[in-house]
Homo-oligomer: A and B are copies of this chain.
Amino acid sequence: MTASIAQQIVLAARPTGGRAQLTDFRLEDVPMPVPQEGQVLLRVDYLSLDPYMRGRMNDARSYAKPVQIGEPMTGESVATVIESKDAALPAGAHVLVTAGWVSHAVADAKNLAALPADGIPARAYLGVLGMPGFTAYSGMAAIGKPKSGETVVVGAASGPVGSLVGQLAKLVGARVVGIAGGAKKCAYVVQQLGFDAAIDHRAPDFADQLANACPSGIDVYFENIGGAVWKAVLPLLNQYGRVPVCGLMAQTSGKNDGVDDGLATTMRAILTRSLTVRGYINYEFLAEYRQAFLKDVGGYLRDGKIKHQEDVTDGLANAPQAFLDMIDGRNFGKVLVRVGDEE
């Protein structure tokens, strides 16, 4: 027997002044959706919260359409089939689905695939084996291309993308320096993930600390911060340095860090040091790298060669606060919201 009421969180208002706040979201009760022939009813177990969602709240040109006012926030989940109208996907199966910030959803069974019963919890497919993991893997495989002995610097190093970027670079023999916010995250990055150093971007002498941690310069900078951090990295980049641009957290939240100046310096560095600065969205590389990613990172996970951290909040109603905390860097690891019952 299925409950008759489902829940969703919609975009109530677009953030003004750059900063999102709780009143930009609204929790709504909606009728439980009903699956038709060929469809399944899904109960969302875990909802993934990711920085890109902040961009979707703006009505601005980007790589995806903005969320409309009154519509559910977009997002990926792992879910359990609780009612099936398609024999190919029976009740009890676990799937990955882009259903938004919702408790339940109906989807065409033919567009879903059951997650493998490989002993890895389904929610890993939202993190280290999901979009964040693939973002890290594909950005390094296609753009960063770290080599043994090179120096790799990665922003947001304790997060789901940055932590894998750095661990993958360590596995090829690079020196890895993480940038993170606060002593706890820095300690985690060095002690748990095995990075060679970690720098707190809040430190007043951040740029000096970074330079000291990179005595041979920087060969790969995995950019997901922008702003003042970019300005500290730029003078350290070596000839033929590679910069996968995966995010700009310092800009995304509208703060911009007061660093719109510096274009001429940046372009000059790109020219004189033959730098590659390359933006990307992970889906560009799905066809080329997805199989290798699942094989490689799945193997590293089973062999205990990489670690990952999850930051779980209970209840869909608490998703907006968890999201705002993540934007402010108060999360620790991959941010998940436990929405339904655990499998």
Which A residues fall within an 8 A CB radius of B?
55, 61-63, 223, 226-227, 230, 239-240, 245-248, 251, 256, 259-281, 284
Interface of A is mostly: mixed
B residues within 8 A CB of A55?
272
A278 to B263, CA, bound (A): 15
B residues within 8 A CB of A259?
263-264
B residues within 8 A CB of A62?
272
The 5 A-B pairs at the shortest CB distance, nearest first, are namely A270-B279, A271-B279, A263-B263, A262-B263, A260-B264
**B265–A272 touching, CB < 8 Å:** no
A270 to chain B, nearest CB (A): 4
**A264–B281 touching, CB < 8 Å:** no
Known A248-B267, A256-B264, A270-B278; further 16 A-B contacts with Cβ < 8 A: A61-B272, A63-B239, A63-B273, A226-B264, A227-B264, A230-B263, A230-B267, A248-B271, A251-B267, A259-B264, A260-B261, A263-B266, A273-B279, A274-B278, A274-B280, A274-B281
> A61, A223, A259, A271 — which one has the most chain B CB atoms within 10 A of its CB?
A271
B residues within 8 A CB of A280?
274
A272 to B272, CA, bound (A): 25
**B279–A278 touching, CB < 8 Å:** no
Given known contacts A276-B278, A277-B277, A260 and B271 CB-to-CB distance under 8 angstroms = no
A261 to chain B, nearest CB (A): 5
A-B residue pairs in contact (CB < 8 Å), sample of 22: A63-B273, A63-B274, A226-B264, A226-B267, A230-B263, A245-B267, A246-B271, A247-B271, A248-B264, A248-B267, A248-B271, A251-B264, A260-B262, A260-B263, A260-B265, A269-B279, A270-B277, A271-B279, A274-B278, A275-B278, A276-B278, A277-B278
A62 to B274, CA, bound (A): 10
